[in-house]
Chain A
């Protein structure tokens, strides 16, 4: 215990820092920054990493400053934040449900957000294809959808005072399918213009992000992450099962409700701004668990960093592969994520 961890104690305040986790989180943070710098340089105007750094601190050419800071920076920050939020949301669900197959998209949270988003677009688009309501309200619509579906699935899966993983995944898949069907229906009945817009949103895209959006989502994600750190120890206890959590003096139902609220808020926030980026919430926490183990104090930041990097990487691929055409990030995350899900199903079945 002595050489692998060191305690920090100050009066009543005390923490235990795990050295390995500390190094891994530092390394991943560094890698994430490198990846973002590379990504900032990629596009129709290629900028070298050194020039990118110069531009970030406002020392590049006027063109470089404009491209890096105004065009590319917001979308890359959004990729990072949305990926991190989805990953943390998945990490919470996997701990809460004690099942590696749980994730915000598989149990329908993303689908719920999609449904309310298309409903919003359909209702507030007039005959001349203009939105009658400010687009700024769109994230709120998505968020409400995510939260409503999240809790619907949770309560439907509830039986005899507990939730079995099998029941939850099954009901989640069912509710997600119903939400998808309704989404398609609304899109077909709605105006064509909004359908096209909705399709891009549904796949998940960070194209055309502006700083206003970052100013909304960043405090949201950071705020919830902070609360999540307070709840990390409760989540650790939850993962040992209901009986042990009760034994330890935890108010299990109350904490479950709170954790589900945190999870849907994170997923809802991400989906609201970046759309239905698939499978990050499943893959990232799972990869993080392989790297760092399952104690949530470390698992949460590692999942967040891994999730953010997956989306930034998917965005790089989306911009590079078919230049000048741009492919939404969600296409690539789903391309890797779907086989990963099948692999997990296969492995857990054995």
Chain B
């Protein structure tokens, strides 16, 4: 089953193409992660899937229909995108922000239906920010703020959720926290999640499907267990690394080589490693 499909999609700014003639299928009901080096076009691709960027050529299809020929409000009821580090205006409360997620269902005379109320309640509950609903967004900590934005996206009540680097600027605890939340939404409600992730190891841990982008196109895609190899990482990121097994969940894990640091042997973890072998 496919959620989104691109056909001969070319994207770019001015004369420069960032993505060229790409055919890509996003599987339905799974978590897909876009990985790639800085500036490879993964955010651009994500934006174009959500019609925030007009393709230079080719098309994006949502549920088999060209998004360019579908009413934008109708798309807003099927697909939501959370941009990278969004900014809330000063003084906006969490509740006011989350309510904005209902925009595609409202009109000037229909501003607060029972469905709106239920969807907002649900979004506040599931993201665990109900207790902050009257606080202003700018007064929250980074992790809470990110949850508030995700709550707004959830209030939009769409089957497909796209997120552009949802864990940027968060400490590791909150990164895990956000990714766990998204993973629960995927497992319990079958929502399709597509995100750009910088952290390769977290991408391998959480994604069912990884899309590695390089050279204006998809270099490789598939289940992390099958595609993540030192060769792939070298081709996509230009980085030498070893791929080992994530000791917690068994997903592939990349350990990069570096010019400066090598095994010294005196360190506590190194000693454990020697014993284990």
Decide if A101 is an interface residue (CB 8 Å cutoff). Answer: no
Residues 261-294 of A at the B interface (beta carbon under 8 Å): 289-290, 293-294
**Hey, what's the 0/1 contact readout for B96-132 against A, CB within 8 Å counting as 1?**
1100110110101111111011001100000000000
Residues of A within 8 A of B250 (CB): none
Decide if A54 is an interface residue (CB 8 Å cutoff). Answer: no
Number of A-B contacts (CB under 8 A): 103
Which stretch of B79-87, B186-194, B238-246 is in the interface?
Answer: B79-87
CB distance from B136 to the nearest CB of A (A): 7
Which stretch of B69-77, B216-224, B229-237 is in the interface?
Answer: B69-77
Decide if A12 is an interface residue (CB 8 Å cutoff). Answer: yes
Asked if B113 and A243 sit within 8 Å, CB to CB, the answer is: no
Decide if A13 is an interface residue (CB 8 Å cutoff). Answer: yes
| Known contacts A4-B134, A247-B81; A237/B100 CB under 8 A | yes
Decide if B133 is an interface residue (CB 8 Å cutoff). Answer: yes
Which stretch of B24-32, B47-55, B206-214 is in the interface?
Answer: B47-55
Closest residue on chain A to residue B116 by CB atoms: A14
| Known contacts A293-B136, A295-B92; A15/B111 CB under 8 A | yes
CB distance from B254 to the nearest CB of A (A): 31
Decide if A246 is an interface residue (CB 8 Å cutoff). Answer: yes
Residues of A within 8 A of B83 (CB): 241, 243-244, 247
Residues 233-248 of A at the B interface (beta carbon under 8 Å): 233, 236-237, 239-241, 243-244, 246-248
Give the interface residue-count category, chain B: 35 or more
Decide if B89 is an interface residue (CB 8 Å cutoff). Answer: yes
The one of A230, A233, A241 in contact with B86, judged by C-beta atoms closer than 8 angstroms, is A241
Asked if B109 and A13 sit within 8 Å, CB to CB, the answer is: yes
Asked if A243 and B81 sit within 8 Å, CB to CB, the answer is: yes
Asked if A289 and B91 sit within 8 Å, CB to CB, the answer is: yes
| Known contacts A9-B112, A248-B104; A293/B73 CB under 8 A | no
| Known contacts A14-B110, A241-B83; A1/B95 CB under 8 A | yes
Decide if A223 is an interface residue (CB 8 Å cutoff). Answer: no
Asked if B92 and A249 sit within 8 Å, CB to CB, the answer is: no
**Hey, what's the 0/1 contact readout for A118-152 against B, CB within 8 Å counting as 1?**
00000000000000000000000000000000000
Decide if A16 is an interface residue (CB 8 Å cutoff). Answer: yes
The one of A7, A249, A294 in contact with B89, judged by C-beta atoms closer than 8 angstroms, is A294
Closest residue on chain B to residue A292 by CB atoms: B91
Asked if B112 and A249 sit within 8 Å, CB to CB, the answer is: no
CB distance from A348 to the nearest CB of B (A): 10
Asked if A14 and B113 sit within 8 Å, CB to CB, the answer is: yes
Asked if B52 and A247 sit within 8 Å, CB to CB, the answer is: yes
| Known contacts A1-B117, A241-B87, A246-B72; A16/B112 CB under 8 A | yes
Closest residue on chain B to residue A248 by CB atoms: B103
Decide if B88 is an interface residue (CB 8 Å cutoff). Answer: yes
CB distance from B8 to the nearest CB of A (A): 23
Cα separation A28 to B56 with both chains bound (whole Å): 52
Cα separation A233 to B89 with both chains bound (whole Å): 14
Asked if B76 and A248 sit within 8 Å, CB to CB, the answer is: yes
Decide if B156 is an interface residue (CB 8 Å cutoff). Answer: yes
The one of B75, B112, B120 in contact with A15, judged by C-beta atoms closer than 8 angstroms, is B112
Cα separation A239 to B89 with both chains bound (whole Å): 7
Cα separation A294 to B93 with both chains bound (whole Å): 9
Residues of A within 8 A of B109 (CB): 12-14
Residues of B within 8 A of A98 (CB): 87, 89
Decide if A34 is an interface residue (CB 8 Å cutoff). Answer: no
Residues of B within 8 A of A249 (CB): 71-77, 103-104
Residues of B within 8 A of A7 (CB): 112, 117
| Known contacts A16-B111, A233-B106, A233-B111; A246/B93 CB under 8 A | no
Closest residue on chain B to residue A4 by CB atoms: B134
Residues of B within 8 A of A233 (CB): 103, 106, 108, 111
Cα separation A243 to B93 with both chains bound (whole Å): 20
Decide if B90 is an interface residue (CB 8 Å cutoff). Answer: yes
Asked if A12 and B110 sit within 8 Å, CB to CB, the answer is: yes
Residues 1-23 of B at the A interface (beta carbon under 8 Å): 13
Decide if A250 is an interface residue (CB 8 Å cutoff). Answer: yes
CB distance from A309 to the nearest CB of B (A): 21
Among B72, B86, B93, B136, find the residue whose CB has the most chain A CB atoms closer than 10 A.
B72
Residues of A within 8 A of B89 (CB): 95, 98, 239-240, 294
| Known contacts A15-B112, A240-B86, A243-B81; A248/B156 CB under 8 A | yes
Decide if A181 is an interface residue (CB 8 Å cutoff). Answer: no
**Hey, what's the 0/1 contact readout for B158-186 against A, CB within 8 Å counting as 1?**
00000000000000000000000000000
**Beyond A13-B110, A233-B106, A248-B103: 17 further Cβ-contacts under 8 Å?**
A14-B110, A14-B111, A14-B113, A95-B89, A236-B100, A240-B87, A241-B83, A243-B47, A243-B86, A246-B52, A247-B156, A248-B101, A249-B76, A249-B77, A249-B104, A250-B103, A294-B92
Interface on B for A, CB 8 Å cutoff?
13, 47, 50-52, 71-77, 80-81, 83, 86-93, 95-97, 100-101, 103-104, 106, 108-114, 116-117, 120-121, 133-134, 136, 156
Q: What are 16 of the A-B contact pairs (CB < 8 Å)?
A: A1-B121, A1-B133, A13-B110, A14-B110, A15-B111, A15-B112, A98-B87, A230-B108, A240-B89, A240-B97, A241-B83, A247-B80, A248-B104, A250-B72, A251-B72, A293-B91
The 5 closest A-B pairs by CB, nearest first: A249-B76, A249-B73, A16-B112, A248-B103, A293-B91
